[in-house]
Amino acid sequence: MRIRILGSGAGGGFPQWNCNCANCRAVRAGAPGFLPRTQSSLAVSANGADWLLLNASPDLREQIAATPELAPGPDDGLRASPIKAVALTNGDVDHVAGLLNMREAQPFSLYAAGRVLDALGANPIFTILQTQLVPRIELRIEEAVPVTGAGIDLGLAIRAFPVPGKIALYLENANAPNFGTSAGDTLGLEIIEAATGDSFFYIPGCAKVDADLADRLRGAKLVFFDGTLFHENEMIEQGLLGKTGSRMGHINVSGADGSIAAFAPLDVNRKIYVHINNSNPLLNEFSDAYATAQAAGWEIGEDGMEVDL
């Protein structure tokens, strides 16, 4: 499998349009050690020709332009795309808005949890993706769903599983427990290569590594994981937004409850942070945070990073 990080940033990207935090100022100024990052998405292919997108970010147009493999080829017809399918981990804006960039009557398949498909179905703007061209296929929990799109078998399967998390911000119900979140509102995806059975995990949003998730990930070859915040309170401490990581449904990187500690005993061969928020000190390659994560065996995802499995 070829895997490409299209966007390693969290919602808002890096720099975020309206953010003047120290990180955003540094990356805007081109300071050494800071790389711009687009919003959260991966692309994966078993045959190098046909691609599955994992999440469709608001930056998708720019991401396709930066990735020659995702452009129509010289032998293709007048309208063509190597992107044959899209799978969503949740209904967040940074993961679904790119679907609107895919509206030019191009066939592909759309895979997501039933509740996410319902949210898209309730919003008429997404009718621009006509269902006869873009079938919407439910990812049922724990079923390995073969990936097909535009008449092509991609040689991949997706096994979706619920992870601790939160319903999309715009669907929150202030009066319901955990804002109305149900199991499956935040999915982890295991992407399986049909020919070999090899697989990797993609979990860009996750509030906690509980015992089930730890068991699932133990010994994995490759995990792309939620690197939103380094510290639970970093957005509050920087005066950016009055929300903790937990309130946003994201685990921290650091600390006793953080992902570095949670993954330490799991023997994961390669682990890469994605969905990194602009407030996160990991975005400065010269920071102590970056050195700490690297020393714990983590890679910090970058746009354009290619991983072969």
Site residues for ligand MLT per CB under 6 A: 10-11, 92-94, 169, 205, 248-249
Phi and psi torsions of 168, nearest 5° = -55, 145
Which residue has tokens 């409850």? 257
How many residues sit in the footprint of Zn ion (CB under 5 A)? 4
Window 258 to 297, contacts with Zn ion (CB under 5 A): 278
Q: Which is nearer to ligand MLT, 82 or 249 (CB)?
A: 249
3-class secondary structure, 58: coil
8-state DSSP, 200:
E
Which residue has tokens 């600390």? 255
Q: How far is the CB of 250 from ligand MLT (least distance, A)?
A: 6
Window 13 to 42, contacts with Zn ion (CB under 5 A): 19, 21, 24
Q: Which is nearer to Zn ion, 21 or 71 (CB)?
A: 21
Contacted by 278, from Mn ion, ligand MLT, Zn ion, none: CB < 5 to 8 Å by type? Zn ion
Q: How far is the CB of 170 from ligand MLT (least distance, A)?
A: 7
The whole-angstrom separation of Cα 185 and Cα 190 is 16
**Do you find a cis peptide bond into 15, omega within 30 degrees of 0?**
yes
Q: How far is the CB of 203 from Mn ion (least distance, A)?
A: 12
Tokens representing residue 284 in the block: 């400065």
Q: How far is the CB of 10 from Mn ion (least distance, A)?
A: 5
Whether the Cβ atoms of residue 209 and residue 259 lie closer than 8 Å to each other: yes
| Gyration radius from the chain CA atoms | 18
Residue of minimal Cβ distance to Mn ion: 11
3-class secondary structure, 223: strand
Q: How far is the CB of 223 from ligand MLT (least distance, A)?
A: 18
- 111: CB partners within 8 A, 6+ apart: 85, 86, 87, 88, 137, 138, 139, 145, 147, 158
Residue of minimal Cβ distance to ligand MLT: 11
- Chain positions contacting Mn ion, by CB under 5 A: 10-11, 92, 94
- Chain positions contacting Zn ion, by CB under 5 A: 19, 21, 24, 278
